Amino acid sequence: MALPHTVRVKLMSEAAGGISLTPVVAQEMPVRDLIEHILGVTGKDEPRIGEILRRGTMTIGASRFRWAGWNADVDELRHLLAGFPDPDPARPFLAERCIRVVLAGGRQEVAILRETAARGGLFRKRTFWDELMEVAGARAPAYAGYSYRERADRYVRELSGEEAARIREAAGRAGRGAWSDGVRRAAFTRAELFAQR
């Protein structure tokens, strides 16, 4: 069956913990947007994407998507997928394109957005983000694929104990906040860096 231009999708929350009734929201979604959500789960795996379209249901985090499933035309699906970026291992990490960093390796991950961590204070010339990019860029991070969910290339950089301490110290100078408190408390050993093209 040919790919429709739009798909009527029902969205519902499946948040854990206790019984909660949340309204079901139905909306007309461009098929490209639905495919982009699916790519965040499957990557460019045509058979899996075809199976999800046929099944008419998918869960991402606490959200469930439902639609009337159909057998997608393979050539049309392939043509649509060609419009999405492919992983590019030869692509170098560029700090100026980095939009998000996840410090991981301990029990709890800490996600840091450039827009919040790049804010400077009145008397501070360097921001926490400046310090983080300097540490991350000291050695080239390894390419780890393209994240369709983040719409960015993903890089991984293992951190030494000294580098982790430097990041924690910089978070201490950044002031109080959810992300800076999380950085100071977390036991992280690597940074996952997301850079837009």
Give pLDDT, residue 172.
86
| Domain boundaries along the sequence of the chain | 6-81, 95-195
For the entire predicted model, the pTM comes to 0.84
pLDDT digits (tens, 9 = 90+) for 36-92: 999 999 999 999 999 999 999 999 888 899 999 999 999 999 999 999 999 999 999
Q: Which residue has the higher pLDDT, 168 or 61?
A: 168
Mean of pLDDT over the chain:
91
- Residue 153: predicted pLDDT: 98
Residue type, 191: A
Q: Which two tokens stand for residue 183?
A: 């950085």
pLDDT of 96-147, one tens digit each? 999 999 999 988 899 999 999 988 765 567 899 999 999 998 999 999 999 9
Phi, psi dihedrals of residue 18, rounded to the nearest 5°? 70, 170
CA angle 191, 193, 197 (to 5 degrees): 170
Q: 7-39, pLDDT tens digit by residue?
A: 999 998 866 555 555 678 899 999 999 999 999
Listing DSSP states for 49-96 in one string gives HHHHHHHTEEEETTEEEE-------HHHHHHHHTTS----TTPPP-GG
| Residues across the chain | 197
Is the pLDDT confidence value at 178 over 90?
no
